[in-house]
Amino acid sequence: MNILCSHFGKCGGCQTQNLDYNIQLLEKENFVREIFKEFNVEDFQKIIPSPDIWYYRNKMEFVFGKEKNGEIIAGLREKNKFYKVVDLKECRISVDEVSEILEIAKKWAKENNLQPYDFFTHKGKLRYIVVKHSKTYNEIMLNVIVTGTKYQIQNNEKEIFEDIVKRYNSLSSVSSIYLSINNNVSDNAIPQEIFHLYGKKYIKEDINGIEYLISPTIFLQTNPRCCKDLYRLILDEIIEGNTLDLYCGSGGITLQIAKYKPVGKIIGIDASKENIEVAFENLKINSISLDIVEFINENVENFLLKLWKSKFLSNLSNVILDPPRPGLSKKVKSIINEINANKIIYVSCNPKTLYEDLKSFIKFYKIKKIIPIDMFPHTPHIEIICVLEHR
């Protein structure tokens, strides 16, 4: 038995902590093999373990809630009970300071008479506290997500938010604090407006000698130490010629290729404006030349429709696909098949959508390699690299 966390069993965060890590790995590897067994995979590799199995995540979204007696609590949703919150005293996959961070937030809420948001009645102020953590530099960024208006925050509630900043001064690793507004009725931690309250605008993470800026809204792989292996394995697959990095986030893979395997031009595409702005900043802070890299803020679908006219296409060798969990649209799959790149490197965090998407490619591409990577220990999730080569 492996259990370390006192909330195991009730908390919906980690669900397989009771299994020995080697058994978790074996189960995940078998699960992936089973899903892809109908394909003729030339090289099905062993699962790559996460270098850290505790405190590995760099981002957690903790939600505010209320006990029956009215007491404010903060933590993660209960297993199979999305409407209940487990009041966390620790979180073994996040940062060591979680207990202090949540205690400070709860005390602040109580003493300022703030109520948690209730998503049945849509009333209440406090929604989430998002904790981002740089593993390399041990710096924490907090983003407190509330309902309300910019006017309220900057006028009658100003002192309340100055108060939370003062309270977090006691934690030396908290080096950046943001406040965000989210008035959406759907339950998520996506901010509509963001205000910088304290400290650094960005914190930084180092992945294989490249620095990545972290802001409240940018995408960065959530297990940065394991991501080193993910990026190294992708680099190994890159062949001479141009590369398209579709769904590039804040430039994670593009920057690695530009620095360590600059064998052609690289274009990174992402639909999020913030991701692309930070991707350009990442180029600057790593002194990577704009001669070989371009970042474009666009939907992949729209970008691909325009690609036909570009000279870049005549020397296109590698297409990297790293879409969000729902996978690729029909349109994207059909254009990818038409542009005829020599290699497709598909990075997926959802084996089921990867399986569906591969069916569209196997007429023109053979599946050379599947490499499962355990980016998410103690959870059922798994990352997969799938390498396709043109027939």
Ligand X SMILES: C[S@@+](CC[C@H](N)C(=O)[O-])C[C@H]1O[C@@H](n2cnc3c(N)ncnc32)[C@H](O)[C@@H]1O
Q: Which residues are catalytic?
A: 349
201, 211, 233, 247: which is closest to 135 by C-alpha?
211
Residues 6+ apart with CB under 8 A from 275: 217, 218, 219, 248, 249, 250, 251, 297
318, 308, 304: which is closest to 266 by C-alpha?
318
Q: Which is nearer to ligand X, 175 or 256 (CB)?
A: 256
Point out which span in 142-150, 172-180, 217-225, 382-390 binds ligand X (CB under 6 A).
217-225
Q: Interface with ligand X includes 248 (CB under 6 A)?
A: yes
Q: Interface with ligand X includes 354 (CB under 6 A)?
A: no
Q: Interface with ligand X includes 376 (CB under 6 A)?
A: no
Q: Interface with ligand X includes 235 (CB under 6 A)?
A: no
Tokens of 124: 């209440």
**Smallest distance, ligand X to C-beta of residue 43, A:** 22
- Residue of the chain from 221, 242, 282, 318 that contacts ligand X (CB under 6 A): 221
Point out which span in 24-32, 58-66, 154-162, 247-255 binds ligand X (CB under 6 A).
247-255
> How buried is residue 389: exposed, middle or buried, by Cβ count under 10 Å (0-12/13-18/19+)?
middle
Q: Pattern of binders to ligand X over 298-317, x per CB under 6 A?
A: -xx-----------------
**Smallest distance, ligand X to C-beta of residue 360, A:** 17
Q: Which is nearer to ligand X, 64 or 219 (CB)?
A: 219
Q: Interface with ligand X includes 242 (CB under 6 A)?
A: no
Give the whole-angstrom CA distance, residue 354 versus residue 324.
11
Tokens of 378: 């103690």
Count of H-run helices and E-run strands, the chain: 10, 17
Q: Which of residues 249-268 bind ligand X (CB under 6 A)?
A: 249, 252-253
Q: Which is nearer to ligand X, 62 or 219 (CB)?
A: 219
* # chain residues binding ligand X, by CB under 6 A: 17
- Residue of the chain from 229, 237, 322, 357 that contacts ligand X (CB under 6 A): 322
Residue 226 in 3-state DSSP?
helix
Give the whole-angstrom CA distance, residue 283 versus residue 262.
14
Tokens of 266: 């690289």
Give the whole-angstrom CA distance, residue 75 versus residue 288.
40
- Residue of the chain from 173, 272, 317, 337 that contacts ligand X (CB under 6 A): 272
Residue ranges binding ligand X (CB under 6 A): 219-221, 247-249, 252-253, 269-272, 275, 299-300, 322, 324
